[in-house]
A and B are shown apart, each in its own frame.
Chain A
Amino acid sequence: MNEVDYIIPKNLEEVFRAVEKKKRKIKFIAGCTNVIPYMREEAISPELLIDLSSLQNLNYIREENGIIAIGALTTISKLTASEIIRNQSPILFSAASLLGNPLTRNRATIGGNLADASPAADMVPPLLALEAFVHTKRGEGEGREISLDKFFLGPNKTVLAEDEIITHITFSRPKDSARGIYIKLGLRNSMAISVVSIALMIEMEGKVCQKARVALGAVSPTPIRVYRLEKNLEGKEIDQKIIQECSVILKEETSPISDIRASAEYRKLATSVLFKRAIQGALNGEKT
């Protein structure tokens, strides 16, 4: 590892002052569970690390007026211990419980998971299905509010500027009638990066699906919403024929790669298996 400077600002003003002053390759860090491994592998070589972990006012989970807000510095462990998350967004809760292992969850933050922009990031599909917004700040100016489905550009690439930080994430509290499922397929039961993951939310009125949100991880350069599939579910009674059509759509809408964990073909086939399980589970009234 090359030499690197490190600062730990106490508040946002200090963060941006540090960013302004130094004309060097900067990197924000939170839990460091991505950054340190990358640095060891020399995949990145920043010159200045700006540690955000003292920004305790970005570490919270709140619910106000039907909006759930999560500070960027909130750890995954904290999500798994939150009543709000457990009760109001069980898919996010179950994705959080499946991330890494307890040690990792204690350090890893939700902001870091989004900003790292791994195609397999576990927090992303549920947040996509929840139609979350990413709130950012950069220097003195007003912050941005970015719809999560517009946030990712490619593997490890987002719309964030180098000196722009995520402050928090928001989404509307799902309706009480909403059902959601998160399924993660990994190669072992803990400490496994997803081979495929799926988050699905549906709202039913009687037998008819009013609203559907389906998001996938690890089958495209970024986690994706599958809009065509959602349209194919909405306003319809979901039967085997629809589910079958959806499988075809999934094959067309995903573009997985072959890598060390699985082949592209396996990913495609497993995606449709997971989708069938998710939709069946949701129809049967399961909530996670």
Chain B
Amino acid sequence: MEQHSAVGKRIPQRDAVDKVKGSAIFTNDIKLKGMLYCKILRSPLPHSRIINIDVSKAEKLIGVKAVLTYKDTPQVKFSISPTWADKLPLESEKARYIGDEIAAVAAVDEDTAQEALDLIQVDFEELPGVYDPVEAMKPGAPVIHDSVENNISKAIHMECGNIEEGFASGDLILEDTFSTQAQSHCSLETHCCVAICEPNDEIKIWVNTQAPHALRQKLSYALNIDASKIHVITPYLGGGFGSKIDLEPAQAICILLSKKSGRPVRISNTRKDQFISTRIRHPTISELKFGVKRDGTIVAKQARVVMDNGAYNSHGPAVLLYNNVMFSSLYRVENIKYEGYLVYTNKNWGGACRGYGDPQATFAQESMMDMIAERLNMDPIDLRLKNANNPNEITANKVRITSCGLRECLTQAKEASNWAEKKETKSKYRGLGIASMIYTGGGSIGSGFNYSGATMQINADGTIHLSVGAVDIGQGSNTILTQMAADVLAVDPEAIRLTTADTDTTLPCMGTFGSRVTFCAGSAVFQATNEVKNMLLEEASEILEANMEDLEMKDKEIFVKGSLGVSVTFSELASRAHYKRKKTLIGHGYYNGPEVSDDFDPTSYVGYPSPAMVFATHIAEVEIDPGTGKVDVINFVAAHDLGRAINPLLVEGQIEGAVAQGIGWALTEDLKFENGKIVNPNFHDYKILTIKDVPKITSILVETIDPNGPFGAKGIGECAMVPTAPAIVNAIYDAIGVRIKDLPATPEKIFDGLKKI
């Protein structure tokens, strides 16, 4: 086996000590001289026409330095891409949800800014609102965006094989409907940015974004400012889960307020702001129909999905697409039909949220799989094995699979959970449930790009400096990217200096999402470091008069294999290169893949060009309190095909965190609306799990060594919460025979279910 000096090692995060001590600087810690504080006036109504905005009183308040309405903005609508643009930084004609941005104030402190908001007079004409996506699709429903018919922002129709023949060839047809609720990301650090507009119109913005380079592009577009005038810097970032990928209206507002006031402007969300104004996981209703043979072969499957977009698009169109791709490509099924609708409602808008439409698809599909197994009197694991994806296959909907460890995930999770024995000796209120999933493990080039850049330089003094556009949002990419580089150069990861996430000093990276950083940024780092390594070896082979193949690296020195004592150090090589040969040692790495094949047809939604797919199986063991319906998750096994674990410690961290988030979504997390208003915008009433609720989680790392991933690695960040909820719901059914089809599985729903049996 290959020997690795750094890859595969359980190394704690590079910045763990700084973060624990509180010395790490986050965006929220940044304070500049003369800085003003911004507060945003939000719509109190779910749907209204804005008749007039009078800011004259607010402007006169002592301490107020600038007030902004749509009139001070270029009024360019934005979204993830211009095609879907539907949101203004400050709305001009209509407000479409409770929380919509209407006006903003910059003042000497937050209290003054808040006071000024109360002085802004807005005349609204209230319009009828619509909160249920099914209602919103009906003719005659209130129109939320003028040009959008039936409030359907995007529809997807995908068919492969022959769905009718498929169903006809089955022995059994099952149909059912599953629905999921809104989830809030709840990252530890709230959204924050500090913007400064210099006298020469250059803009600098410190912002906790998951995608600094993409943000520069979006700001440039939405503000009509040349991108070369914008500098985006992302300091340490306290969690994103997808909520920080988008351009936030507040970021554009801060820049414009800085421009207007001539002073730096900061905005930092309170926790309540976070709940009421940032993106959420899209609620969905999924009607499924499955056709199976008696031996368990799935011959046809069909889904009709209504996805609640909320008031604006954000990532919605792509989330719906992922919902289709993941639903369709899990398991080897020839005949598939998918029909999906992304529907506007007068509620908070959905966005990217860990799993990107896949948790909703997987909850429905994996609940259905369990129902099929029961009807066929088959072990749920055997049913999944029967239909499992295989390595090096192209699915019916033309998704290319390279490495694939789904079977290993199933069998290893089965063993680790003691499945067979526990099923035999099942006690009354205990149950075991299983669910699997497929997800992208290296982003996708479906939108046209999937880029990550890196440079690696060795300076004349021998210092090694890696620079990547990717941002570490807490998941640990800084650690694993330096591990990869260190492994190539056979140095200690600590010896590598690292610059990240700065549009001025790093090569562009599309961002941290889609479980893509390990794969894409990792590939770029691998390439850049190998390029430098070759430069070093070339230099060394000249000095040591040996062939490059006979050279070996260790501790910043290069040796001739077998001849002890014949060596040259990195700094000797680097100073010779720089000073004698007048040559820098800089390697470049750039990933932007995979190649798009003819399989991919964006108009029929067939095919999806991801460089790698990842797989997983979760098994939950639960105990139900029959008196109250309370679910206690007592054991959890999560087996993941991640290609290779660059750092098993951090991988386990990702899995454990994701499972906790997944259990939360399954059982307690529910962003509740009443007539468009969120009624639980706080941690008291929006219940994420506490340490006392999280069970013991056993992580199993299935290393399939992907042919294209750096060191064989694929992504892990998002996918680890995808199969959690269906595993739990299936376990609840196993325990007490109550099938929860509508998340979350609250004690009350289970209690009601028990009464009916």
Q: Do A and B come from one complex?
A: yes
B748/A185 in contact, CB under 8 A:
no
- Given A193-B684, A260-B685, A273-B627: A188 touches B668 (CB 8 Å cut-off): yes
The A168-224 residues at the B interface (CB cut-off 8 A) are 185, 187-193
A260/B747 in contact, CB under 8 A:
no
The B105-152 residues at the A interface (CB cut-off 8 A) are 111
The A260-280 residues at the B interface (CB cut-off 8 A) are 260-263, 266, 269-270, 273-274, 276-277
A263/B748 in contact, CB under 8 A:
yes
Binds A, one of B248-256, B280-288, B493-501, B687-695: B687-695
CB distance from B306 to the nearest CB of A (A): 25
B672/A188 in contact, CB under 8 A:
no
**Which residues from chain B contact A43 at a C-beta distance below 8 Å?**
none
CB distance from A131 to the nearest CB of B (A): 28
Complex CA gap A266/B749 in Å reads 10
Name the residue among A101, A273, A277 with the largest chain B CB count within 10 angstroms.
A273
Complex CA gap A274/B627 in Å reads 8
A161 within 8 A of B: no
- Please give the number of chain B residues whose Cβ is less than 8 angstroms from any Cβ of chain A in the complex: 21
- Looking at the complex, which one of A1, A260, A274 makes contact with B672 (CB distance below 8 Å)? A260
Name B's interface SS.
loop
**Which residues from chain B contact A277 at a C-beta distance below 8 Å?**
627
B630/A185 in contact, CB under 8 A:
yes
B747/A187 in contact, CB under 8 A:
yes
**Which residues from chain B contact A270 at a C-beta distance below 8 Å?**
627-628, 751
B153 within 8 A of A: no
Name the residue among B630, B679, B746 with the largest chain A CB count within 10 angstroms.
B630
The B657-694 residues at the A interface (CB cut-off 8 A) are 668, 672, 679-680, 683-685, 687, 689-693
**Which residues from chain B contact A262 at a C-beta distance below 8 Å?**
747-748
B628/A185 in contact, CB under 8 A:
yes
**Which residues from chain A contact B672 at a C-beta distance below 8 Å?**
260
A190/B627 in contact, CB under 8 A:
no
- Looking at the complex, which one of B668, B680, B689 makes contact with A260 (CB distance below 8 Å)? B680
- Given A1-B111, A193-B684: A188 touches B748 (CB 8 Å cut-off): no
Residue of A nearest to B670 (CB): A260
- Given A262-B748, A263-B748, A266-B751: A189 touches B693 (CB 8 Å cut-off): yes
Q: Residues 242-266 of chain A: 1 if any B CB is under 8 Å from the residue's CB, otherwise 0?
A: 0000000000000000001111001
A266/B748 in contact, CB under 8 A:
yes
**Which residues from chain A contact B679 at a C-beta distance below 8 Å?**
260
**Which residues from chain A contact B747 at a C-beta distance below 8 Å?**
187, 262, 266
Complex CA gap A276/B680 in Å reads 32
Residue of B nearest to A1 (CB): B111
Complex CA gap A266/B751 in Å reads 8
Complex CA gap A266/B629 in Å reads 10
**Which residues from chain B contact A263 at a C-beta distance below 8 Å?**
748
Complex CA gap A176/B599 in Å reads 80
CB distance from B742 to the nearest CB of A (A): 15
B111/A190 in contact, CB under 8 A:
no
B690/A191 in contact, CB under 8 A:
yes
Complex CA gap A187/B690 in Å reads 11
- Looking at the complex, which one of B628, B685, B693 makes contact with A190 (CB distance below 8 Å)? B693
**Which residues from chain A contact B693 at a C-beta distance below 8 Å?**
188-190
**Which residues from chain B contact A191 at a C-beta distance below 8 Å?**
683-684, 690
8 inter-chain pairs at a CB distance below 8 angstroms, sorted by A residue, are A3-B111, A190-B693, A191-B684, A191-B690, A262-B747, A274-B628, A276-B627, A277-B627
- Beyond the given pairs A188-B690, A191-B690, A260-B672, 5 more chain A to chain B contacts, judged by CB atoms under 8 angstroms and listed by A's residue number, are A3-B111, A187-B668, A187-B687, A274-B627, A277-B627
